[in-house]
Amino acid sequence: MISMLSVMAQALTDAEVPNAANSATTAVLTRTSEVSNTATLANMVGGLIVVLAVIFVLAYIVKRLNLVPSNGGVIKTLAVTPIGQREKVVLIDVNGQQYLLGVTPQSINLIDKLDTAVDVPVTSFASRLKQAKEQQ
């Protein structure tokens, strides 16, 4: 009888060990799944940040290089030529009359009101981008 009880106790302990190992395996898989989900979320957020950064950098470059001409409105910028780090000469058109302006960070000065209109050739985006790359 005692031997039978010891055999039954041994069987119960052996049955509990796989259950303990099984629950430990389940806990490890659960933790691995949580880590995997966290890593996936971090990768998605990181990718989103990179895409947004690229968009803002490209928008800054387009704005800085004046690659998109503004054709709407009464005042049109026809040409811009930098003559220093922060100084430039700008040719604008207001209702068919052209003005040459000197622009600095502190002021804008009228250099000349042109009597004859200057014909400025319209260039494509690709040629402007190529020209900007060559200037650098």
**Strand pairing category for 88-94 and 75-82:** antiparallel
Given CA atoms 6, 9, 15, 16 in this order, what sign does their dihedral have? negative
What is the Cα–Cα distance from 31 to 44, expressed in whole angstroms?
20
Task: State the pLDDT at residue 127.
Answer: 81
> Is the confidence at residue 1, as pLDDT, over 80?
no
As a whole number, mean pLDDT of residues 51-62 equals 93
Contact 101, 92 (CB under 8 A): yes
117-127-111 Cα angle (round to 5): 30
Token readout for 20 is 């303990």
Query: pLDDT tens digits, residue range 73-120?
Result: 788 888 899 998 999 999 999 988 999 999 999 999 999 999 888 887
Query: pLDDT at residue 20 above 90?
Result: no
What is the arithmetic mean of pLDDT over 63-67?
77
Beta-carbon contacts of 38 under 8 Å, excluding residues fewer than 6 positions away, are: none
| Percent composition of the chain: helix, strand, coil (DSSP 3-state, to 5) | 55, 20, 25
- Residues of the chain with pLDDT > 70, as a percent, come to 71
Q: Residue range 55-76: average pLDDT?
A: 80
Average pLDDT for 30-57? 85
